[in-house]
Structure 1
Amino acid sequence: MTRSIRILVLQFASIGDVVLTTPVVRCLKKQLPNAELHFCTKRDYASLIAYNPYIREQHYLDGNVYTLIRQLRAVRFDYIIDLQNNFFTGLIKASLAVRSFSVETQSFREWLYVRWKINALPDQHIVERMMATVQPLGVENDGRGLDYVIPYKDEIETDWLPITHQHDFVAYVIGGQRLTRRLPVKRMIELCRKINYPVVLLGDKTDRTAGEEIVKALGERQIYNACGHYNLNQSASLLQRARVVFSHDTGLMHIAAALGKKVYSIWGSTTPQFGFYPYKTPHVRLEASGLGCRPCSATGLGNCPMKHFKCMNNLPFDFEVKELRTKKKNLE
């Protein structure tokens, strides 16, 4: 009987980063059938990995890293796949003292791009860099894109939605980890007016106030403010039901990509050149090109350092949504 190979995958950064690891997890399990995959992340991201069929065990950081390390030591792993590669994951690798493979970081090149606007970054999606991490184990990218499993209990029923949005709508993810990765509310209103279709707004409870302003401007017949009403998997279910998805550079954008939706991705202080654009799904990039101040950050900032916020204020809405050529008569 062949002994199982116990492999620990590490990623703690964000919702989107965890979703972006799913091709690595799938390819490891499918191409190394005797692999027993364990995934370690923050407790807040439990719903992202709990239903993944390729993961045998989940391990969570609940605050104390040394408690987590003791728990991981007891498992006796054969390999560690570090898909974050920072000081924190380095501490875990050093403590477990087993062979590890770590994703190549681009910190210096990202600094050059942000500080001096010298783009020496490879034309490569972050998923491809993650997949390169497991090539020494003989694992290759199968090209199937991202995975996301919505449990049955979190699938949205039609009658949970307003009657105006029960059968056909566009999803717009208005949240974003930093202010400079989100359109100002007045521009969100402008975008929704341009879409001119029933729109479901998605985000957490901190985005609810912005959603209420959009509803006030455009009315409940066009806008349903779902921000803060649904958990992450339920929000994913709404993405799955949507005709198309508009999204800032955030975790739900990657979930939409995993569900195979066409994504209109909105870029402000960050740029797709960092390698975090929608993966293996049809997508359109909406961004204000030609600005000498952009990018001002690889991850977004709390405020525009130049005070003008042109990357979002000047972002053109000159796109055509071919999927929405037939407008709803009740929105005329």
Structure 2
Amino acid sequence: MNPKVRVLIIRFSSIGDIVLTTPVIRCVKQQLNEGNNEVHLITKEQFKPIVKTNPYLDEVIYIEKKVSEVAEKLQNEGYDYIFDLHNNLRSAQVKRLIGTLAFTFKKHNIEKWLYVNFKINLMPKKHIVDRYMDTTKAFGIENDNKGLDYFIPKDEFLDKSSLSEPFSKQYVAIAIGGQHVGKVMPATKIIEICNALPLPVILLGGPEDYETGKLIEQGSDHEVKNTCGELSLNESASLVNQAEVVISHDTGLMHIAAAFKKPVISIWGATVPEFGMYPYMPGKGSKIIEPKDYRDRPYSKLGDRKWYKPPFKGMEKIDVNEVKQAVEEALDLTKTTEPGA
């Protein structure tokens, strides 16, 4: 048998990006050196809930802010190879410290800049998961096409049966947050969507989304429950896992929903699916919805406001009827594929 190989995978942030690395983690663990390996990951401490129970990781190294916090450990681990899935100054520091052979993900920042500023699309027609997988090509590792992974610890799983009715039964989950304003629909638009849906709605998001969630809950004529800021990430993931359909902006919960093979109705604004970060192998009935007749897209690389441009208004052009129809079609498809249907 070949001697054991030890590798380090680098991805520091964010929620969605780390979830998108899980096919690489799984395939490396199962295929590299015929499985005779140790796979380590370095990431930020704040993302521990995402990776701490991943069975394909032998060890996770966490940092608060600086690589120097774990420099000695990194130098003493004896890594044979590095897969850099972040490609930034911090990951370059890790590679310099360890000094072993590294395979680095290409970000295509020039192509993104051209697309944002001149609407010239030279982006590879390839999902970012497959671009991550390209770093492993030299080892003959292949994508197993099983999609994304997300593992919720048993003691952190929130069963929907603990919720009050009607939310303890069937519901649509809406992830109302987003890292940047250009990715997020206004509350008035989400209220319209809630009112149009055939099932009760659970709103998901962080503490920063609480007030918006409260506004939506109080402003809707529909059965809506605001959980923003009240749940841990894994509790929110639990409710995503039990939802009939998930509506989400371009954000972390969208990728978690895809990991659970849920029908994902993804709403796009300042960013575009062509950047390669659309839902990866989600459930049947998933659909991408974008603003109609809005020329300035992509508005920015991350969805943030640009001082030299007018504010992004594309989210106001999301068609509520299109969202409603997509949800209804996904629900119908779910019914026809249920066992015994």
TM-score, L = length of structure 2? 0.91
Distance 1:324 1:192 in 2: 15
Conserved? CA contact 2:25–2:56, under 8 Å: yes
Residue type of the partner of 1:61?
I
Which residue does 2:72 correspond to in 1?
Answer: 70
Distance 2:307 2:210 in 1: 22
Where do 5+ consecutive residues of structure 1 fail to align?
326-332
Task: State the percentage of identical aligned residues.
Answer: 40
Distance 2:307 2:248 in 1: 20
Which residue does 1:166 correspond to in 2?
Answer: 168
1:245 Cα deviation after fit: 0.2
Conserved? CA contact 1:288–1:314, under 8 Å: yes
Conserved? CA contact 1:266–1:285, under 8 Å: yes
Distance 1:65 1:150 in 2: 27
1:95 Cα deviation after fit: 1.5
Residue type of the partner of 2:145?
G
1:323 Cα deviation after fit: 4.0
Conserved? CA contact 1:240–1:256, under 8 Å: yes
Which residue does 1:101 correspond to in 2?
Answer: 103
Q: Secondary structure at the match of 1:48?
A: helix
Which residue does 1:250 correspond to in 2?
Answer: 251
Which residue does 1:215 correspond to in 2?
Answer: 217
Residue type of the partner of 1:236?
A
Q: 2:320 aligns with which of 297, 309, 317?
A: 317
Distance 2:307 2:15 in 1: 24
RMSD after superposition: 1.6
Distance 1:157 1:172 in 2: 17
Which runs of structure 2 are paired with 1:69-88 in the superposition (5 Å)?
69-88=71-90
Distance 1:315 1:29 in 2: 41
Which residue does 1:328 correspond to in 2?
Answer: none
Q: 2:119 aligns with which of 99, 117, 120?
A: 117
In structure 2, relative to structure 1, the CA distance for the partners of 1:172 and 1:304 (3 Å cut) is farther
Distance 1:217 1:303 in 2: 31
Q: Secondary structure at the match of 1:318?
A: helix
1:324 Cα deviation after fit: 4.5
1:314 Cα deviation after fit: 1.2
Once the two structures are overlaid, the 10-residue window that deviates more, 9-18 or 289-298, is 289-298
In structure 2, relative to structure 1, the CA distance for the partners of 1:193 and 1:93 (3 Å cut) is same
Where do 5+ consecutive residues of structure 2 fail to align?
333-341
Conserved? CA contact 1:180–1:304, under 8 Å: no
TM-score, L = length of structure 1? 0.94
Residue type of the partner of 1:20?
L
Which residue does 2:303 correspond to in 1?
Answer: 300
1:15 Cα deviation after fit: 0.5
Please give the per-residue CA displacement for 1:187-221, whole angstroms capped at 9, x wherever unaligned: 111111122420000001110101111111125x6
Residue type of the partner of 2:223?
Q
- Structure 1 segments of 4+ aligned residues over 6 angstroms from their partners: none
Which residue does 1:54 correspond to in 2?
Answer: 56
Conserved? CA contact 2:159–2:238, under 8 Å: no
Which residue does 2:22 correspond to in 1?
Answer: 22
Distance 1:46 1:145 in 2: 21
1:163 Cα deviation after fit: 1.2
Please give the per-residue CA displacement for 1:94-118, whole angstroms capped at 9, x wherever unaligned: 1210000011120000000001110
Q: How many residues align?
A: 324
1:64 Cα deviation after fit: 2.9
Which residue does 1:44 correspond to in 2?
Answer: 46
